[in-house]
């Protein structure tokens, strides 16, 4: 990322289940940023990567359990993620799949480079392995002998593995964080990241193929396969030309990475160590979004019965309404509960009553009073100044990745327009035609800005709104629900 190009990537979800609301949040957040920067920098200067992580024991076992051939199984779920993207207007430039032969070659190349740099070695390892976590876990992490996250006892394993010398990069990573305090958002997580770096140990990066038939073979040692994370993480640079096209890589990397709260260790430490080993730059920005909790404020789980499906929500409210709520009502960087009442309130107050209402009032009155609007040359200077300064404030929030705040400020701008019209009362008989033209023309300018700013968040409705405003056609975009 530099001033001319913008590369953003989500994490790659595992394809062992349907897309959940947390994936939905991450994908639509990344989409908003991609859309904003496309408008700012031009379409050809933005690259937006999403995709699916398709190797690993969890996936292998789940495929067996459900009676699928592994390829059919991963295709089925990768397609569900594609369906999701289509439904929720996620405008990716690339859908990356780690079972793609091209990925396999690039991941092997990444391994070779780290190995040539002396950062990969072989060692016998025994310990407890949690299949759910796809890693060895320590005694300390267990509660009653079980993995606290998965509630199952880990399996005993004793095997020879390849290790990545992450410990080589401890000082370098601490220095990087020290020199780039802004690299991680939210800033409150910086101490946690620092602590994880300080606790760095070398990590196991391979499994025996006999235990894990579904993975990428280690170069020159086909009895071993990549540890799933070591394979999947490389996608961030493979997607933009690593091992294939230096100019392309130069153009896009380093990029912005967006990920969930359980992922800081992988994105902020392991991956950064891998980049250093491969002689690549660290990520430009790490954005850790919050967790979407159940309506009861607790972590969603099948046992609690508080799981919310993005597909169900789409059926109930429509994709844009759900998208709007995820981006506006769910905090961008901290955990929030997903509540349908909040969704309805936010939609009704901000879109139906505020933006939608203003749009209709202006179109209706301009037709009724037969006055000209959409005339930027005739704007009242003070009014334009007020709108423009709010617009630039909102743009800086976009560039600071503060999506929920962006949405709030756009709502305030629309509200400023509604107050203005109420105060000026252009429908009154005493108001001259010139005055009326002036008021409504000012408001058409404000509306155009509101539409432009909302576009990344609600792309379909804003397109309709723009046409309605330009043609001065009445339209009910946001029916109250």
3-class DSSP assignment, residue 425: coil
Nearest to 416 by CA among 450, 373, 467, 371: 450
Interaction of residue 127 with Zn ion, rule CB under 5 A: no
User: Cβ closer to Zn ion: 133 or 405?
Assistant: 133
Distance of closest approach, residue 14 Cβ to Zn ion, in angstroms: 13
Distance of closest approach, residue 70 Cβ to Zn ion, in angstroms: 22
Interaction of residue 132 with Zn ion, rule CB under 5 A: yes
What is the DSSP-derived secondary structure letter of residue 282?
P
Distance of closest approach, residue 422 Cβ to Zn ion, in angstroms: 57
> In the structure encoding, which two tokens stand for residue 325, read together?
């709520």
Distance of closest approach, residue 163 Cβ to Zn ion, in angstroms: 21
Question: Sheet containing 206-208: which strands, arranged edge to edge?
Answer: 206-208, 221-226, 217-218
- Catalytic (active site) residue 133: yes
- Catalytic (active site) residue 299: yes
- Catalytic (active site) residue 364: no
The distance of Cα 52 from the centroid of its chain, to the nearest Å, equals 14
Nearest to 433 by CA among 346, 371, 384, 375: 371
Residues touching Zn ion, count (CB under 5 A):
6
Judge contact between 107 and 100, C-beta under 8 A: no
Q: Of these, 41, 70, 133, 466, which contacts Zn ion (CB under 5 A)?
A: 133
Nearest to 21 by CA among 456, 329, 458, 477: 329
Interaction of residue 149 with Zn ion, rule CB under 5 A: yes
Distance of closest approach, residue 142 Cβ to Zn ion, in angstroms: 9
Q: Per CB under 5 A, which of residues 78..97 are in contact with Zn ion?
A: none
- Catalytic (active site) residue 20: yes
**CA 275 – CA 284 distance, rounded (Å):** 12
Q: Is the peptide bond before 10 cis (omega within 30 degrees of 0)?
A: no
Interaction of residue 241 with Zn ion, rule CB under 5 A: no
Which listed range, 63-71, 147-155, 236-244, 456-464, lies at the site for Zn ion (CB under 5 A)? Answer: 147-155
**CA 143 – CA 151 distance, rounded (Å):** 9
Distance (Å) of CA 410 to CA 176, 359, 416: 35, 14, 10
Q: Of these, 24, 74, 147, 166, which contacts Zn ion (CB under 5 A)?
A: 147
- Catalytic (active site) residue 302: yes
- Catalytic (active site) residue 130: yes
User: Cβ closer to Zn ion: 147 or 410?
Assistant: 147
Distance of closest approach, residue 155 Cβ to Zn ion, in angstroms: 11
Q: Of these, 112, 150, 194, 395, which contacts Zn ion (CB under 5 A)?
A: 150
The one catalytic residue in 55, 58, 103, 147 is 147
**CA 84 – CA 318 distance, rounded (Å):** 13
Q: Where on the chain is the footprint of Zn ion (CB under 5 A)?
A: 130, 132-133, 147, 149-150
Q: Which are the catalytic amino acids? A: 20, 23, 130, 133, 147, 150, 299, 302
């Amino acid at each position: 990322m530099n001033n001319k190009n913008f590369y953003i990537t989500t994490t790659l979800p595992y394809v062992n289940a349907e897309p959940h609301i947390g994936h939905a949040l991450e994908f639509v957040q990344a989409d908003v940023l991609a859309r904003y920067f496309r408008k700012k920098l031009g379409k050809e200067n933005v690259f937006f990567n999403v995709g699916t992580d398709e190797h690993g024991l969890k996936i292998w076992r789940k495929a067996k359990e459900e009676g699928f051939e592994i390829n059919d199984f991963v295709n089925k779920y990768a397609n569900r993620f594609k369906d999701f993207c289509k439904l929720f207007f996620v405008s990716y430039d690339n859908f990356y799949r780690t079972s793609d032969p091209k990925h396999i070659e690039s991941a092997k190349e990444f391994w070779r480079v780290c190995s040539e740099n002396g950062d990969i070695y072989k060692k016998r390892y025994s310990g407890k392995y949690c299949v759910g976590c796809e890693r060895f876990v320590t005694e300390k992490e267990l509660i009653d002998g079980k993995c606290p996250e998965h509630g199952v006892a880990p399996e005993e394993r004793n095997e020879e593995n390849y290790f990545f010398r992450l410990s080589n990069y401890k000082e370098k990573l601490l220095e990087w964080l020290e020199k780039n305090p802004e690299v991680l958002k939210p800033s409150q997580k910086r101490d946690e990241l620092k602590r994880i770096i300080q606790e760095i140990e070398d990590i196991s990066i391979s499994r025996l193929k006999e235990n894990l038939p579904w993975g990428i073979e280690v170069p020159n040692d086909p009895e071993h396969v990549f540890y799933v994370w070591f394979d999947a993480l490389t996608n961030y640079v493979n997607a933009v030309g690593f091992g294939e096209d230096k100019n392309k890589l130069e153009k896009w990397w380093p990029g912005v990475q967006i990920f969930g709260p359980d992922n800081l260790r992988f994105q902020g430490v392991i991956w950064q160590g891998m980049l250093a080993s491969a002689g690549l730059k660290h990520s430009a920005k790490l954005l850790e979004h919050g967790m979407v909790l159940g309506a009861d404020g607790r972590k969603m789980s099948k046992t609690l019965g508080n799981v919310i499906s993005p597909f169900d929500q789409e059926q109930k409210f429509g994709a844009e309404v759900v998208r709007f709520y995820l981006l506006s009502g769910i905090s961008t960087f901290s955990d929030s509960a997903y509540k349908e009442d909040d969704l309805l309130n936010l939609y009704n107050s901000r879109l139906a009553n505020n933006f939608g209402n203003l749009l209709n009032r202006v179109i209706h009155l301009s037709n009724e009073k037969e006055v000209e609007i959409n005339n930027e040359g005739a704007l009242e200077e003070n009014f334009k100044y007020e709108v423009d300064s709010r617009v630039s404030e909102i743009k800086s929030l976009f560039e600071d990745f503060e999506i929920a705040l962006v949405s709030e400020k756009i709502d305030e701008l629309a509200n400023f327009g509604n107050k203005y019209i109420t105060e000026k009362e252009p429908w009154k008989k005493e108001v001259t035609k010139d005055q009326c033209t002036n008021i409504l023309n000012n408001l058409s300018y404000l509306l155009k800005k509101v539409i432009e700013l909302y576009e990344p968040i609600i792309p379909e409705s804003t397109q309709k709104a723009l046409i309605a405003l330009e043609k001065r056609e009445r339209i009910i975009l946001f029916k109250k629900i």
